[in-house]
Amino acid sequence: MALSTHPPVEIPDTSIFEYLFGGLGAADLDEIALVDGTSGAETSYRQLVGQISLLAGALAARGVGVGDVVGILCPNIPAFATVFHGVLRAGATATTINSLYTPGEITNQLTDAGAQWLFTISPMLPQAEAAAEATGIPADHLIVLDGAEGHPSLRDLLGEGKQAPEVSFDPATHVAVLPYSSGTTGRPKGVMLSHRNLIANIAQSSGSIGLGDRGLGAGDRVLAVLPFFHIYGMTVLLNFALRERATLVTMPKFDLPEFLRIVSEAKVTWIFIAPPIAVALAKHPLVDQFDLSSVEVVFSGAAPLDGSLAALVAERLDCIVCQGYGMTELSPVSHSIPVEHHEIDRSSIGILLPNTEARIIDVESGADVDVPADGQSASGELLVRGPQVMLGYLNNDDATGRTLDGDGWLHTGDIATVTAEGVYYIVDRLKELIKYKGYQVAPAVLEAVLLGHPAIADAAVIGVLDDDGQEIPKAFVVLQSDADLDEAGVMEHVASHVAPYEKVRRVEFIDVIPKSSAGKILRKDLRARTSKS
């Protein structure tokens, strides 16, 4: 078992609202909390706190409080912060919904979560109305932030002038949010995260990611392009940045030209990304047409970032590039490369956050792997324990029992190694390892090799069955425009970088690698594509 090398951090026994905003000083209140990256409209901390309290009051006047669940179907706009924290300030639970979901998927989440209220915006109203009708949410419980006939608007609720109620709950056990796991390997599950879970992970992030002269703080401008409905955007962007009194510059969805424009014009200093954005920053010619000199830190998460790709981004933008590791069930962060220690190998996920423990166990025996005096340990499943670990899955005791053991260890399902210095590396997902003739082949390793080829824009690897029914690695490849590379060239490139048993045996060229909104490869979609061919 390994303990964090960071000093422990204090985790206050309070609500997320009090933790984020209770300590605002007079000077803080007039600083800018949020900027709409599209329009340039600004919201001060004073305005934000006022709006949150008014919305909490309006919801309480409608009977919304402890025990109620409120859905939020909304992209990254400043009003998201008001709605999210207004719901929690009222004592209710927020279930954040993927903006790309179909009406059926929205219905499934609202039903599973038991939501009876839903916030959305007018462009998403058709999907929201269909889901509301299917789940029995009445029209006056469907709030359209920017207004729509037959539904209350955010302005309507704020205009009622109701003040926030006094609510009482145990921050350690009261469910603050119900994000749903990505469902990359199955149906999404509701992850119950308490106020204490969220507060712990913000405090832990402050004690790791945010340390040093270049740590996140007041005066920084943070581009918020990763969706707030996803736990990475929710904790590390929305909540961590506000706690540190930075300014969030929101962007509803990723579009490279708009992304680059906002970074340049808003003088963004910190960018939190997922690996697909790193690929664009490293390789796309459009990047050279914009002044990105304000960028000081790029922090990647949600999926493994290859070290060579990180180095390309760092060199091109002349900035610090770090990455971290986490999952929804961890609120989400358990490991990171601290900015003050950005010399740590960029291909690693860094070191444990404060107040966090980890083990790596042999997949077959369950015994802890040995950590040598130098070099890396053998690979095994990564287990994590700490105050950021979820309460469990909603309505799913079986899944909770498979993920959380009786000693509080969360079984991540990720294969990892660790060095004697406590630096961790993710090898792959346990369920995604390819078994080739008895050898374990990690798709992430092959994907990193593929992305190292200058003609390859993106890539993914899965296991498929050959004519003899044996599993072999198959690569899906997206080529750079005007690239001249065939299947044989792809296989030769990989073969020159890996052991013989790890070689790619099949190649398929496609237009785009399917990924979740958080940047994770949707391997189930690639498997479905393969089964149809």
3-state secondary structure 346-399: CCCCEEECCCCEEEEECCCCCCECCCCCCCECCCEEEEEECCCCCCEECCCHHH
Q: Are strands 439-441 and 471-479 parallel, antiparallel or unpaired?
A: unpaired
For residue 320, list its beta bridge partners: 297
pLDDT one digit per residue (tens) for the chain, 533 residues? 889 999 999 999 999 999 999 999 999 999 999 999 999 999 999 999 999 999 999 999 999 999 999 999 999 999 999 999 999 999 999 999 989 888 988 999 999 999 999 999 999 999 999 999 999 999 999 999 999 999 999 999 999 999 999 999 999 999 999 999 854 445 789 999 999 999 999 999 999 987 767 889 999 999 999 999 999 999 999 999 999 999 999 999 999 999 999 999 999 999 999 888 998 999 899 999 999 999 999 999 887 788 888 999 999 999 999 999 999 999 999 999 999 889 999 999 999 999 999 999 998 899 999 999 888 999 999 999 999 999 999 999 999 999 999 999 999 999 999 999 999 999 877 778 787 876 668 888 899 899 999 999 999 999 998 876 678 999 999 999 889 999 999 999 999 988 788 899 999 999 999 988 777 888 889 988 887 66
Q: What is the set of domains in the chain, with CATH numbers? A: 433-532 (3.30.300.30)
Edge-first strand listing for the sheet containing 410-418: 2-3, 357-361, 380-385, 410-418, 424-429
Rg (alpha carbons) of the chain, rounded to whole number? 23
Cα–Cα nearest to 277, from 522, 476, 519: 519
Cα–Cα nearest to 276, from 303, 245, 257: 303
Q: Are strands 380-385 and 93-97 parallel, antiparallel or unpaired?
A: unpaired
Neighbour count for residue 193 (Cβ, 10 Å): 28
Helices and strands, number each (H, E), in the chain: 17, 26
Cα(239)–Cα(332) distance, integer angstroms: 12
Cβ pair 195, 324 in contact under 8 A = no
**Residue 318's pLDDT is what?**
97
Question: Structure tokens of 309?
Answer: 């790709």
Cα(388)–Cα(2) distance, integer angstroms: 16
Amino acid, single-letter form, for residue 367: A
**Residue 267's pLDDT is what?**
98
Q: φ and ψ at 400, to 5 degrees?
A: -60, -45
Amino acid, single-letter form, for residue 314: A
- For 417: left if phi > 0, alpha if psi spans -120 to 50, otherwise beta; the answer is beta
Q: Are strands 32-36 and 247-250 parallel, antiparallel or unpaired?
A: parallel
What residues contact residue 247 under an 8 Å CB cut-off, 6+ apart?
31, 32, 33, 34, 35, 220, 221, 222, 241
**Residue 331's pLDDT is what?**
98
Helical H runs in 437-521? 443-451, 487-495
Cα(429)–Cα(444) distance, integer angstroms: 9
The dihedral of CA 511, 514, 516, 520: what is its sign?
Answer: negative
**Residue 468's pLDDT is what?**
67
- For 462: left if phi > 0, alpha if psi spans -120 to 50, otherwise beta; the answer is beta
